[in-house]
């Protein structure tokens, strides 16, 4: 048998009544033995007491979203998932397993991404037991199994993708920082495959922490700042060139002034300086001409 088998159990209140009756019978035997000084009642005392205690030992409670795995002398007999007060063979072991959803808030792991950069990454995993047989007998400790396999999956995920795209083509490669939704889906799929052996269901898995390692964080911040400056400068230059081109076309089309190539070059130079400069432009009045 490799899968879970759901079974029912006897009502607990009825068997509780039988157990109390046997214990009451043993007490009655003690009283009768003392009153009549008859040794025969001693047999009834031990017999009723043992039967009553065995019946009481078979009682158990199944709370909501809990289950009890029943094992008799090393043989799996089934799992009771129905809520209530029940009785079963007192020689059966009744292992309690919760079916509630549980959170695993993973520790921060220091790993290398696909590009070899050290990063810090952590994830939150929401999971629950789906197959009580596999959780009990396929792995040694299913809770520890979840922790270890989650860490292994996160390390594998971090090494499969770069933290961020260094090149300008940001759509070419899936990254941990930019492709959050897709990366979370990949993590869920890998955890589902790893947890299947233990009968664990992955409800949700999300990256909760992602950052460069402290030793390269400052250098990466400067690189990001430099990339932002270059991108901003590129946008400014493109806009300035468009404005200069528009100004020259307007002057030419409206016959405002006729400019030769040298004057056009001077005008373009001045406009680009004004439009691209970080500081305010200071106008200079030219009393002469460009040729003197």
Chain segment 169-193, per-residue pLDDT in tens = 445 578 888 888 898 999 999 999 9
SS3 state at 8: coil
Distance CA 48, CA 18 (A): 11
**The three-state (H, E, C) secondary structure of 118-143, written as one string:** EEEEEEEEEEEECCHHHHHHCCCCHH
Strand 66-72 vs strand 93-98: parallel, antiparallel, or unpaired? Answer: antiparallel
**Residues whose CB falls within 8 Å of the CB of residue 178, separated by 6 or more in sequence, listed in order:** 164, 165, 170
Q: What is the pLDDT of residue 148?
A: 93
Contact of 112 with 90, CB cutoff 8 Å: no
209 dihedral zone (left: phi>0; alpha: psi -120 to 50; beta): beta
Distance CA 221, CA 238 (A): 26
- Phi then psi for residue 288, to 5 deg, are -105, -145
Q: What is the pLDDT of residue 270?
A: 67
For residue 208, what are its two tokens?
A: 């909760």
**Is the dihedral angle over the CA atoms 261, 264, 265, 266 positive or is it negative?**
positive
Query: C-alpha distances in angstroms, 143 versus 74, 152, 199?
Result: 22, 15, 11
Could you report the per-residue pLDDT of 230-273, keeping only the tens digit for each? Answer: 677 777 777 777 777 777 777 677 766 666 666 667 777 766 66
What are the residue ranges in the chain where pLDDT is below 70?
A: 1-2, 32-44, 166-172, 215-230, 251, 255-264, 270-292
């Amino acid at each position: 048998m490799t899968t879970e088998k759901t079974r029912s159990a006897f009502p607990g209140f009825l068997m509780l009544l039988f157990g109390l009756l046997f214990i009451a019978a043993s007490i009655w035997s003690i009283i009768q033995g003392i009153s009549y000084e008859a040794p025969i009642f001693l047999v009834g005392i031990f017999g009723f007491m043992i039967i009553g205690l065995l019946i009481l030992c078979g009682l158990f409670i199944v709370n909501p979203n809990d289950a009890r795995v029943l094992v008799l002398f090393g043989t799996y007999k089934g799992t009771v998932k129905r809520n209530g007060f029940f009785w079963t063979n007192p020689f059966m072991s009744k292992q309690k397993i919760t079916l509630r959803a549980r959170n695993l808030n993973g520790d921060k792991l220091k790993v290398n991404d696909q590009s070899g950069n050290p990063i810090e990454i952590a994830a939150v995993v929401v999971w629950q037991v789906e197959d009580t047989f596999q959780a009990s007998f396929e792995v040694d400790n299913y809770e520890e199994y979840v922790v270890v396999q989650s860490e292994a999956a996160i390390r594998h995920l971090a090494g499969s993708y770069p933290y961020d795209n260094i090149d300008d083509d940001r759509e070419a490669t899936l990254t941990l920082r930019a492709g959050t939704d897709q990366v979370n889906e990949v993590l869920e799929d890998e955890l589902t495959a790893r947890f299947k052996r233990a009968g664990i269901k992955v409800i949700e898995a999300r990256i909760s922490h992602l950052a460069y390692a402290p030793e390269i964080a400052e250098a990466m911040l400067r690189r990001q700042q430099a990339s932002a400056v270059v991108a901003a400068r590129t946008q400014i230059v493109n806009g300035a060139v468009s404005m200069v081109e528009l100004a020259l076309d307007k002057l030419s089309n409206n016959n405002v002034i006729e400019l030769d190539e040298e004057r056009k070059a001077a005008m373009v130079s001045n406009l680009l300086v004004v439009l691209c400069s970080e500081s305010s432009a200071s106008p200079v009045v030219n009393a002469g001409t460009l040729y003197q």
